[in-house]
A and B are shown apart, each in its own frame.
Chain A
Amino acid sequence: PALGLFLFTIARDPLRIIILIAGAFFWLVSLLLSSLIWFIAVKASDPRDEPLQKGLLIFGVMFSVLLQEAFRFLYYKLLRKAIEGLVALSEDGCSPISIQQMAYVAGVGFGLMSGAFSMINLLADALGPGTVGIHGDSQLYFLTSAFMTMVLIFLHTFWGILFFHGCEHRRWWEITAVVVMHLTVSGSTFCNPLYVPPLVPSYLLMAIAATWAYLLSGGSAQNLRRFLLCKS
């Protein structure tokens, strides 16, 4: 689904593609930094201590979430400056790409990158023999991973929109809401491999975020109805 999103909405416009790739880059850098921190922490601690390792991992995840959000903010700043330049350059005084579109694309960039990183090795392994969870792990590993990844990609997209909107209008509570949501989602995955806690709330949160972003972008129930009924 995310790929379809990409193809339909982004691939037409070169500027969006650039913003997308740049977004992916920012996410990647944040990931890099967070794994650096984690790595240092691991090296500094005792490798044989199991719970500690897990705790460190959790700490790493949280830290990474915070870093991701920080980078999203930085990216927002960059795009703000860019918009001014684009407006000055444009012929009729309005920017070719609105901040909301940018938000959307940035969100997709982040999401795609994180999804790719989460899934791609799994996919490569999935080409091998079909023995999932043969050692007593859950057999739903692939399925849940796929769903989780998808929800995460969408969430990133929506968070992008919300985040940028919050920054635009200086509503700090929106920003904190995004951060908190991100933390919750990541945190809920800690309950794996019981699959219920992560998936269900994540989907709920995604639905909430989706409606919120939709409303922010100027949609309304009326628009939705017209769209669905294919009215012109």
Chain B
Amino acid sequence: MTELSAHLPQFQHGQLTENFPDNHLSNTNDNSERRRHDNSERRRNDNPESETNGQPQNNIQQVVEQDEEEDEELTLKYGAKHVIMLFVPVTLCMVVVVATIKSVSFYTRKDGQLIYTPFTEETETVGQRALNSILNAAIMISVIIVMTILLVVLYKYRCYKVIHGWLIISSLLLLFFFSFIYLGEVFKTYNVAMDYITVALMIWNFGVVGMICIHWKGPLRLQQAYLIMISALMALVFIKYLPEWTAWLILAVISVYDLVAVLCPKGPLRMLVETAQERNETLFPALIYSSTMVWLVNMAEGDPEAQRKASKNSTYDKQAPANQTRNEDAEADDGGFSQEWQQQRDNRIGPIESTPESRAAVQALPSNSQTSEDPEERGVKLGLGDFIFYSVLVGKASATASGDWNTTLACFVAILIGLCLTLLLLAIFKKALPALPISITFGLVFYFATDNLVQPFMDQLAFHQFYI
């Protein structure tokens, strides 16, 4: 594979910055796909960079600067593909959530609130209600912040066992308990009779396979499917147990928090990312959705460290789900990790259609020379928290909007566009970025606007059968 050998010189170079050791798509795709350019807007902004060169990919021996520039170009080139790779799971998650909300009434019944939101919203006056929801949101956010800081501290002091244990417990809880409830409710809705033994067997299988897939090795598609299901379950729990105004407030505040936590120099998430970079590790084995797979093909002689790291990577790349004992972890970690992408962007790639042996994995961060053994793969990662909050937004829209499907559709499109823009910014800034703010802002704006403004308009139009 010429592609693979092509990557060797680049990596030997070693000075590649951590953030994008490389974009060389170990690409067995044909040229046509290579020409798939990314988002149009991105190109507009990146014109200055793109001046550099349009050398064809097969030009192997390249000078260093050209390597870097080509890196950038390639990053941007494959952008469109990555955007789609992220679109699909986000869409799937939202579809699952909306479908469930529409059909299973359990998730729209008010059965009480979580202990994190102690103030009720069934109050007499509007002012009281507003106050209560603000207090609720404040409590929730402080819980999240505390959890994130706790996580960062644990990470800094290398208490990996604790973190692993925590993640495993939460994913256990999520996989078994929540899916049991979900399954039960679905059966109730469709009036399907089912005995406990069958249910136990199903849940057991589902849970065990999920644990294996997420924390260990497993087929990529299956792992992605599990992550999507986990996110959907979590989002459903949120939709059910968060009262109205609190939910919207929380969404708004969490996107602000995300922005702050990732971009401020003292933000906990940023510290987390930097610590991980210093230690040359992949960030977390958990809470991140990766669009690609890490395949391990060890070439020639790798040094033992590289190989060890590579194997560690392959484990870590199977993203663990949003751990939730209750909600706190989810928000804490996911909200935080939503910017893992760029950081890990370098790691993996693997256009899924290509054959295993044609790809190889390398670590995220270059460990000087020996990483050249494993040509790199790259993909885009998105934190699971982002999935969850997007789905919460769309789910709430479909559950409680008067405009029903119109609103849902509007929010969906808004979120996708936000995601596009965020990916665009990612390509420009090449740093870890928060994925929540833009999309959530668009989503919220469109939700409220569509619900209040567009809906009456469309109703009238449909009534008279006018068409615009």
**Residues in A lying within 8 Å of B, measured CB to CB:** 13-15, 17-19, 21-22, 24-25, 28, 31-32, 34-36, 38-39, 42, 54, 57-58, 60-61, 64-65, 68, 78-79, 81-86, 88-93, 96-97, 113-114, 116-118, 120-122, 124, 141, 144-145, 148-149, 152, 185-186, 189-190, 192-193, 198
Contacts A61-B468, A144-B465 given; does A35 touch B413 at CB 8 Å:
no
> Which of A64, A89, A91, A198 neighbours the largest number of chain B CB atoms within 10 Å of its CB?
A89
Closest chain A residue to B32, Cβ basis: A96
Q: Does B301 contact A (CB under 8 A)?
A: no
Is A89 touching B465 in the complex (CB atoms < 8 A)?
no
> Which of A39, A124, A193 neighbours the largest number of chain B CB atoms within 10 Å of its CB?
A39
Is A121 touching B467 in the complex (CB atoms < 8 A)?
no
Is A57 touching B405 in the complex (CB atoms < 8 A)?
no
CB<8 Å pairs between A and B, sample of 13: A15-B36, A25-B414, A35-B453, A36-B449, A36-B453, A61-B461, A85-B43, A118-B462, A121-B405, A121-B458, A121-B462, A149-B467, A192-B466
Is B468 touching A79 in the complex (CB atoms < 8 A)?
no
> Among B57, B84, B414, B454, which residue has its beta carbon within 8 angstroms of that of A35?
B454
> Which of A35, A79, A96, A193 neighbours the largest number of chain B CB atoms within 10 Å of its CB?
A35
Q: Kindly list chain B residues whose C-beta atoms are within 8 Å of the C-beta of A121.
A: 404-406, 458, 462
Q: How far is the CB of A163 from chain B (nearest CB, A)?
A: 17
Is B54 touching A14 in the complex (CB atoms < 8 A)?
no
Contacts A14-B84, A82-B44, A116-B409 given; does A68 touch B468 at CB 8 Å:
yes
> Among A22, A83, A96, A141, which residue has its beta carbon within 8 angstroms of that of B36?
A96
Is B43 touching A61 in the complex (CB atoms < 8 A)?
no
Q: Does B394 contact A (CB under 8 A)?
A: no
Closest chain A residue to B45, Cβ basis: A85
Is A21 touching B461 in the complex (CB atoms < 8 A)?
no
> Among B38, B450, B461, which residue has its beta carbon within 8 angstroms of that of A32?
B450
Q: How far is the CB of A183 from chain B (nearest CB, A)?
A: 10
Is B50 touching A88 in the complex (CB atoms < 8 A)?
yes
Is A91 touching B466 in the complex (CB atoms < 8 A)?
no
CA A198 – CA B465 in complex, angstroms? 10
Is B420 touching A18 in the complex (CB atoms < 8 A)?
yes
Q: Does B96 contact A (CB under 8 A)?
A: no
Is A190 touching B466 in the complex (CB atoms < 8 A)?
yes
**Chain A at the B interface: mostly helix, strand, loop or mixed?**
helix
CA A189 – CA B409 in complex, angstroms? 24
Is B462 touching A122 in the complex (CB atoms < 8 A)?
yes
Q: Does B204 contact A (CB under 8 A)?
A: no
Q: Kindly list chain B residues whose C-beta atoms are within 8 Å of the C-beta of A149.
A: 467
Is A39 touching B457 in the complex (CB atoms < 8 A)?
yes
For chain B, the count of residues having a C-beta within 8 Å of the partner chain is 55
Q: Does B87 contact A (CB under 8 A)?
A: yes
Q: How far is the CB of A158 from chain B (nearest CB, A)?
A: 16
> Which of B35, B40, B47, B73 neighbours the largest number of chain A CB atoms within 10 Å of its CB?
B40
Q: Kindly list chain A residues whose C-beta atoms are within 8 Å of the C-beta of B77.
A: 89
Q: Kindly list chain B residues whose C-beta atoms are within 8 Å of the C-beta of A22.
A: 40, 417, 420
Contacts A18-B80, A25-B413 given; does A96 touch B465 at CB 8 Å:
no
CA A21 – CA B456 in complex, angstroms? 24
Contacts A65-B468, A82-B41, A89-B73 given; does A32 touch B449 at CB 8 Å:
yes
Contacts A57-B466, A86-B43, A124-B405 given; does A32 touch B417 at CB 8 Å:
no
Q: How far is the CB of A90 from chain B (nearest CB, A)?
A: 6
Q: Does B158 contact A (CB under 8 A)?
A: no
Contacts A60-B457, A118-B462, A192-B464 given; does A85 touch B36 at CB 8 Å:
no
Is A85 touching B40 in the complex (CB atoms < 8 A)?
yes
Q: Does B367 contact A (CB under 8 A)?
A: no
Q: Does B272 contact A (CB under 8 A)?
A: no
CA A8 – CA B83 in complex, angstroms? 20
Contacts A89-B73, A117-B406, A120-B409 given; does A18 touch B458 at CB 8 Å:
no
Q: How far is the CB of A114 from chain B (nearest CB, A)?
A: 7
Is A152 touching B467 in the complex (CB atoms < 8 A)?
yes
